[in-house]
């Protein structure tokens, strides 16, 4: 049994061929493997048994030291070497802080790893599996928090409660007061901070930052001061910094997942966490940035569920305070990863909160300015001198610009195409520059994909660029790289959808893409005939469906419909499921015979996606109503499927007949 192999070491210290170094700290990776869900509760008990066993071994070692001291002390003739040995043993055993500290550190290390492993399990196996033991885990962790004073243990417990919040949601409420109180103490604490006053000449040799970190596991947070002969050096033990980082992460998760249960602690938590955005250590700063964004989203949800003047005011105050910080970080911080965290958090807020973010005075223009600066390498983090290798710098710059690219479609959606059009004109130049012959695959994919996402949100005004975008997409449909082809196909489909029949005479539109349907379809059908990549095939089907929905008369349905249905279910890009299925259902509603001819294959594909995460609730409801309508009009179709599909899939279809609005 796999669990036994993982948890039972052999006599020589090797378990199932794995090296002795594969201790509890590595088990979290093994628990990600399949077939462990059934053994979850047993695994947790085994972890606790292992912790008890190691604690017992440490106690035994201490006892042996005491016994050795006693045996040596009984000797009457003690030579000089034995006397030194006794002195050493006396120092170890008579000073309780030394053996106790060693023992406690070992035990706490085991306890820390248990908390981390349980947190990984909670996130991995899902709510349904983990929920029965979630409260027991919370009680166990809370007991440790109340009885053990150790920064590493606290941060592990905080991380566990963050993971438990994804399972328990508002049911985590009984533990929040105690946990949040401890978290506030961790954020406010100055424990682990040491200051030294020393001569400037000593600072270089004694407090070389890299060497000192390795030796002392501490970090120097003092900036150099060349103007004074004496300076105060501020050193923070890394364990306490890690504690602050994980505290911010956990508070953000609690705010996001526990909803109304967290509201009583939201304001206090926000005040403490936003202060850590200015913390000297980048990892703490990043965690704080993400957490304050999650807290804004929490307030937004509260305002949506029960809108009041108080929640509306709180939301705008939170957003205003956070955006000031994020925009400042983007402009001034020299750490690329910190700036990426600020940009990504801005995107999350735009995506999940929406208009209130850009309704704060000055924020809309400031966001677009920062994104432009990112594209043109004018942010401080892109100018800073660095000892990193050039390849690593280029990689981080590419990641940062991709983060900025994600923000642009979100801004276009919120501002509207007309308002965003002048900005798109400017950004399009920057994006096209990344489509050179010498550009990397990642650059090309990013540029084509970002352009496609932007024109989707801009809608019909994107036709102002049809003369340049149409040939661009047609060119990259033939690219040798899958992800570039996929994004180009998606962009072409969106561009065609924006140029529908209703667009005749639109001032931005100097010719109709309907006249290019033959060329486009020839290209797309040719692509499907030889394509092996699932995502490219999915996007090609969706592009053809967009063409049908836009200008049905321009598409030979007798050829297109069988090809589309043959490609179902979609393989990778499940976001295109609504585009494809809604198109086919509309054709069915209109009495299109080709859909009826391929009904069995269509129903079979629907059976394979119903009840999965491939379709969201609104599409699932649409598909259920479609199945019911087909059964009502063509009852023999479902019966025919009984012998040609699995019992599970057939049961899914028949269960649709008794459902109302997607539920039984």
Number of neighbouring beta carbons within 10 Å of residue 148: 15
Is it the case that residue 32 has pLDDT exceeding 60?
no
Report the half-sphere exposure of 518 (CA within 13 A, side-chain side).
1
Task: Give yes or no: residues 313 and 237 share one domain.
Answer: no
Is it the case that residue 608 has pLDDT exceeding 50?
yes
Task: Give yes or no: residues 561 and 646 share one domain.
Answer: yes
Burial of 558 from C-beta contacts in 10 A (0-12 / 13-18 / 19+): exposed
Give domain status of residue 408, yes or no: yes
Task: Give yes or no: residues 572 and 652 share one domain.
Answer: yes
Distance CA(235)–CA(220), nearest Å, equals 5
C-alpha closest to that of 233 among 221, 248, 247, 245:
221
Confidence of residue 535 (pLDDT cuts 50, 70, 90): very high
Return the minimum-mean-pLDDT range out of 226-235, 310-319, 361-370, 410-419.
Answer: 226-235
The predicted model gives 515-526 an average pLDDT of 91
Give domain status of residue 516, yes or no: no
Give domain status of residue 248, yes or no: no
Give domain status of residue 498, yes or no: no
Pairwise pLDDT comparison (289 vs 85), residue with the higher score: 289
Domain final residue, candidates 90, 110, 125 = 125
Number of neighbouring beta carbons within 10 Å of residue 98: 12
Is it the case that residue 410 has pLDDT exceeding 60?
yes
**With contact defined as beta carbons under 8 Å apart, do 396 and 337 qualify?**
yes
The predicted model gives 355-359 an average pLDDT of 97
Give the pLDDT of residue 105.
61
Number of neighbouring beta carbons within 10 Å of residue 29: 11
Helix (H, G, I), strand (E, B) or coil at 514: helix
Angle between helices 173-188 and 151-168 (to 10 degrees): 150
* Integer angstrom CA distances of residue 651 from 447, 598, 620, 632: 44, 20, 16, 17
Helix (H, G, I), strand (E, B) or coil at 35: coil
Number of neighbouring beta carbons within 10 Å of residue 398: 15
* Integer angstrom CA distances of residue 169 from 134, 302, 315, 617: 11, 14, 21, 20
Dmax over CA atoms of the chain, in Å, equals: 112
Task: Give yes or no: residues 235 and 319 share one domain.
Answer: no
Give the pLDDT of residue 386.
52
**With contact defined as beta carbons under 8 Å apart, do 611 and 649 qualify?**
no
Give domain status of residue 438, yes or no: no
Give domain status of residue 486, yes or no: no
Give the pLDDT of residue 198.
55
Distance CA(569)–CA(583), nearest Å, equals 14
Alpha-carbon Rg for the chain, nearest whole angstrom, is 31
How many domains are contained in the chain? 4
Is it the case that residue 467 has pLDDT exceeding 80?
yes
Is it the case that residue 538 has pLDDT exceeding 50?
yes
Q: Which range marks the domain in which residue 36 is found?
A: 2-125
Contacts of 84 (CB under 8 A, 6+ apart): none
Return the minimum-mean-pLDDT range out of 18-22, 215-219, 598-602.
Answer: 18-22
Contacts of 204 (CB under 8 A, 6+ apart): none
Token couple for 516: 């290019």
Give domain status of residue 67, yes or no: yes
Number of neighbouring beta carbons within 10 Å of residue 472: 22
Is it the case that residue 663 has pLDDT exceeding 80?
no
Give the pLDDT of residue 151.
87
Q: Give the rounded percent of residues in the chain with a pLDDT score beyond 70.
A: 72
Give the pLDDT of residue 218.
54
Give the pLDDT of residue 48.
64
**With contact defined as beta carbons under 8 Å apart, do 94 and 86 qualify?**
no
Give the pLDDT of residue 385.
53
Chain mean pLDDT for the chain: 81
Helix (H, G, I), strand (E, B) or coil at 15: strand
Contacts of 216 (CB under 8 A, 6+ apart): 235
Give domain status of residue 151, yes or no: no
> Using alpha carbons only, what angle is made at residue 620 by residues 649 and 483, rounded to the nearest 5 degrees?
90
Cis peptide before 512 (omega within 30 of 0): no
Task: Give yes or no: residues 575 and 651 share one domain.
Answer: yes
Task: Give yes or no: residues 226 and 321 share one domain.
Answer: no
Strand order in 218-220's β-sheet? 193-199, 230-237, 218-220
Give the pLDDT of residue 191.
72
Domain final residue, candidates 125, 148, 179 = 125
Distance CA(311)–CA(94), nearest Å, equals 60
> In three state form, how does the secondary structure of 246-283 look?
HHHHHHHHHHHHHHHHHHHHHHHHHHHHHHHHHCCCHH
Return the minimum-mean-pLDDT range out of 105-109, 241-245, 440-444, 628-632.
Answer: 105-109
Place of tokens 């050096």: 233
For the chain, what's the residue count? 664
Pairwise pLDDT comparison (331 vs 645), residue with the higher score: 331
- Strands 193-199 and 218-220, bridge-based pairing: unpaired
Pairwise pLDDT comparison (641 vs 390), residue with the higher score: 641
Task: Give yes or no: residues 9 and 83 share one domain.
Answer: yes
Token couple for 645: 């599909």
Q: Could you say which DSSP state residue 663 is in?
A: B
Number of neighbouring beta carbons within 10 Å of residue 527: 18
Task: Give yes or no: residues 121 and 223 share one domain.
Answer: no
Confidence of residue 211 (pLDDT cuts 50, 70, 90): very low
Express the helix, strand and coil content of the chain in percent, nearest 5 each. 75, 5, 20
Is it the case that residue 248 has pLDDT exceeding 80?
yes
Q: What is the pLDDT of residues 253-289, one digit of tens each?
A: 999 999 889 999 999 999 999 999 999 999 999 999 9
Burial of 93 from C-beta contacts in 10 A (0-12 / 13-18 / 19+): middle
Helix (H, G, I), strand (E, B) or coil at 235: strand
Is it the case that residue 514 has pLDDT exceeding 50?
yes
The predicted model gives 151-166 an average pLDDT of 91
Q: What is the pLDDT of residues 162-181, one digit of tens each?
A: 999 999 999 999 999 999 99
**With contact defined as beta carbons under 8 Å apart, do 581 and 627 qualify?**
no
Is it the case that residue 510 has pLDDT exceeding 90?
no
The predicted model gives 517-537 an average pLDDT of 94
Give the pLDDT of residue 69.
60
Give the pLDDT of residue 504.
38
Helix (H, G, I), strand (E, B) or coil at 18: strand
Give the pLDDT of residue 403.
96
Q: What is the pLDDT of residues 640-662, one digit of tens each?
A: 877 778 888 888 888 998 876 55
Is it the case that residue 2 has pLDDT exceeding 60?
no
DSSP letters, 161-229, are HHHHHHHHGGGGHHHHHHHHHHHHHHHH--TTEEEEEEEHHHHHHH--HHHHHHHHSEEE-PPP-TT-S
Is it the case that residue 511 has pLDDT exceeding 90?
no
Distance CA(297)–CA(316), nearest Å, equals 11
Domain final residue, candidates 384, 415, 446 = 415
Q: Give the rounded percent of residues in the chain with a pLDDT score beyond 90.
A: 56
Confidence of residue 471 (pLDDT cuts 50, 70, 90): very high
Task: Give yes or no: residues 84 and 9 share one domain.
Answer: yes
Q: Could you say which DSSP state residue 660 is in?
A: B
C-alpha closest to that of 295 among 328, 260, 253, 330:
253
Q: For residue 230, give the H/E element and its range.
A: strand 230-237
């Amino acid at each position: 049994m796999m669990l036994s192999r993982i948890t039972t070491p052999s006599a020589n210290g090797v378990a199932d061929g794995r090296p002795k170094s594969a201790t509890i700290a590595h088990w979290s990776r093994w628990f990600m493997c399949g077939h462990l869900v059934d053994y979850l509760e047993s695994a947790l008990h085994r972890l606790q048994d292992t912790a008890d066993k190691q604690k017992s071994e440490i106690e035994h070692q201490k006892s042996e030291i005491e016994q050795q001291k006693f045996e040596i002390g009984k000797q009457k003739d003690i030579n000089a070497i034995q006397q030194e040995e006794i002195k050493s043993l006396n120092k170890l055993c008579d000073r309780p802080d030394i053996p106790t500290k060693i023992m406690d550190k070992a035990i706490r290390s085991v306890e820390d790893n248990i908390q981390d492993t349980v947190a990984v399990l909670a996130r991995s196996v899902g709510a349904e599996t983990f929920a029965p033991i979630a409260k027991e885990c919370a009680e166990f962790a809370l007991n440790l928090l109340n009885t053990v004073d150790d920064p590493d243990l606290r941060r592990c417990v905080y991380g566990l409660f963050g993971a438990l919040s994804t399972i328990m949601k508002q049911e985590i409420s009984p533990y929040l007061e105690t946990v949040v109180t401890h978290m506030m103490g961790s954020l406010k604490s100055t424990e682990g901070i040491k200051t030294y006053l020393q001569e400037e000449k000593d600072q270089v040799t004694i407090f070389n930052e890299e060497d000192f970190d390795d030796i002392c596991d501490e970090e120097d947070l003092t900036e150099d001061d060349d103007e004074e002969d004496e300076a105060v050096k501020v050193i923070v033990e890394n364990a306490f910094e890690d504690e602050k980082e994980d505290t911010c992460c956990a508070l953000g998760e609690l705010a996001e997942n526990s909803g109304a249960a967290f509201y009583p602690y939201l304001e206090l938590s926000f005040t403490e966490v936003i202060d850590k955005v200015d913390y000297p250590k980048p990892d703490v700063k990043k965690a704080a940035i993400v957490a304050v964004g999650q807290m804004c989203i929490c307030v937004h949800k509260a305002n949506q569920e029960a809108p009041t003047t108080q929640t509306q005011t709180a939301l705008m105050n939170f957003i205003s305070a956070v955006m000031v910080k994020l925009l400042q970080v983007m402009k001034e911080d020299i750490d690329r990863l910190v700036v990426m965290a600020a940009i990504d958090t801005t995107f999350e807020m735009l995506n999940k909160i929406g208009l209130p973010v850009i309704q704060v005075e000055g924020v809309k223009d400031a966001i677009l300015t920062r994104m432009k600066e990112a594209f043109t390498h004018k942010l401080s983090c892109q100018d800073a001198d660095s000892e990193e290798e050039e390849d690593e710098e280029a990689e981080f710059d590419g990641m940062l610009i991709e983060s900025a690219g994600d923000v642009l479609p979100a801004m276009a959606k919120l501002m509207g195409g007309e308002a965003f059009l002048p900005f798109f004109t400017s950004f399009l130049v920057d994006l096209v520059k990344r489509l050179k012959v010498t550009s990397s695959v990642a650059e090309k994919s990013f540029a084509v994909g970002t352009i496609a996402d932007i024109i989707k949100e801009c809608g019909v005004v994107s036709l102002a660029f049809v003369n340049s975008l149409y040939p661009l997409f047609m060119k990259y449909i033939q690219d040798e790289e899958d992800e570039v082809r996929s994004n180009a196909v998606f962009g072409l489909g969106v561009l065609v959808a924006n140029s529908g029949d209703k667009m005749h005479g639109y001032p931005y539109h100097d010719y109709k893409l309907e006249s290019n349907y033959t060329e486009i379809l020839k290209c797309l059908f040719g692509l499907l005939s030889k394509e092996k990549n699932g995502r490219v095939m999915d996007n090609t089907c969706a592009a053809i469906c967009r063409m049908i929905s836009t200008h049905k008369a321009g598409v030979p349905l007798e050829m297109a419909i069988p090809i589309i249905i043959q490609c179902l279910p979609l393989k990778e890009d499940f976001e295109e499921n609504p585009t494809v299925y809604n198109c086919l259902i509309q054709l069915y509603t209109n009495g299109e015979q080709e859909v009826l001819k391929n009904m069995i294959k269509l129903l079979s594909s629907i059976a394979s996606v119903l009840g999965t995460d491939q379709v969201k609730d609104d599409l699932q409801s649409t598909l259920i109503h479609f199945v019911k309508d087909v059964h009502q009009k063509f009852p023999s179709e479902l019966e025919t499927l009984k012998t040609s599909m699995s019992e599970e899939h057939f049961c899914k279809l028949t269960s649709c007949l008794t459902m109302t609005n997607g539920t039984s």
